[in-house]
């Protein structure tokens, strides 16, 4: 049937159509093969475009930690984390203040805190000891990540990040966090402190 139409078209002198249809006439290249081929090409092109655009973002993007960059510019990345561990929030958004004390007995007082999903809490952390302590908020993965960073800092002093504050003896600092749905822990990753039990649990319900 295709042969008949192709022949007829060719007869009218429309050589462009005739040649196109002529190649279709070959038993080894049915029309769906061509459609499939073109679709595959388009998909490959799309993938290349996506990869290139991602690669472009990778450089600067890599330097932005999960919770946002340091300082108070936490708003944009906060939303990405909502639903899981939550994220840093502005102190003015805090609806509740929880006081936490870091002690040289390698413990926090209190060692258990409860929060509601979606709640924004400002932690006011005081180092009542003579050693440097920190307060790192996060799930198990975030605690491990921070512990790994601390392992590369022989002096044990890390830059404050959105989920971490480092406190010298007697110092009090604040950290505001908007909770997602996941329960978290707070911990001190000064050398040996976490291993000695310097951590607490935040149950989110």
Maximum distance among all Cα pairs of the chain, rounded to whole angstroms = 99
- Going by the DSSP 8-state scheme, the letter that residue 155 receives in this structure is T
Three-state DSSP at 147 gives helix
Of the listed pieces 46-54, 111-119, 169-177, 194-202, which binds Cu ion according to CB under 5 A?
194-202
Among 121, 190, 200, 204, binds Cu ion (CB under 5 A): 190
Of the listed pieces 107-115, 159-167, 175-183, 187-195, which binds Cu ion according to CB under 5 A?
187-195
Using CB under 5 A as the binding rule, the residues of this chain from 94 to 153 that contact Cu ion are 133
- 89 vs 113, beta carbon nearer Cu ion: 113
Q: Can you say whether residue 65 is alpha, beta or left, with left for phi > 0 and alpha for psi between -120 and 50 degrees?
A: beta
127 has which bridge partners? 102
Q: Is the peptide bond before 28 cis (omega within 30 degrees of 0)?
A: no
Q: How many residues bind Cu ion (CB under 5 A)?
A: 5
Task: Kindly state the smallest distance separating residue 198's Cβ from Cu ion, in Å.
Answer: 5
- 146 vs 193, beta carbon nearer Cu ion: 193
Among 146, 161, 178, 193, binds Cu ion (CB under 5 A): 193
Give alpha helix (H) positions in the chain: 2-11, 15-24, 31-62, 75-81, 140-151
Of the listed pieces 19-27, 36-44, 54-62, 196-204, which binds Cu ion according to CB under 5 A?
196-204
> H/E element holding 148?
helix 140-151
**Contacting positions for Cu ion (CB under 5 A):** 133, 188, 190, 193, 198
């Amino acid at each position: 049937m295709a042969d008949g139409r192709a022949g007829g078209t060719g007869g009218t002198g429309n050589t462009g159509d005739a040649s196109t249809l002529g190649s279709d006439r070959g038993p080894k290249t049915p029309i769906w093969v061509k459609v499939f081929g073109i679709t595959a090409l388009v998909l490959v092109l799309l993938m290349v475009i996506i990869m290139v655009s991602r690669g472009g973002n990778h450089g600067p993007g890599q330097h932005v930690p999960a919770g946002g960059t340091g300082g108070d510019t936490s708003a944009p990345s906060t939303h990405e984390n909502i639903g899981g561990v939550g994220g840093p929030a502005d102190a003015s958004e805090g609806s509740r203040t929880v006081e936490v004390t870091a002690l040289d007995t390698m413990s926090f007082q209190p060692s258990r805190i409860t929060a509601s999903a979606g709640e924004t809490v400002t932690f006011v952390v005081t180092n009542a000891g003579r050693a440097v302590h920190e307060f790192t908020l996060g799930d198990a993965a975030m605690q491990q990540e921070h512990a790994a960073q601390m392992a590369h800092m022989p002096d044990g002093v890390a830059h404050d990040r959105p989920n971490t504050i480092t406190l010298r003896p007697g110092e009090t600092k604040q950290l505001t966090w908007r909770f997602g749905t996941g329960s978290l822990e707070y911990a001190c990753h000064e050398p040996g402190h976490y291993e000695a039990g310097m951590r607490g649990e935040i149950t989110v319900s």
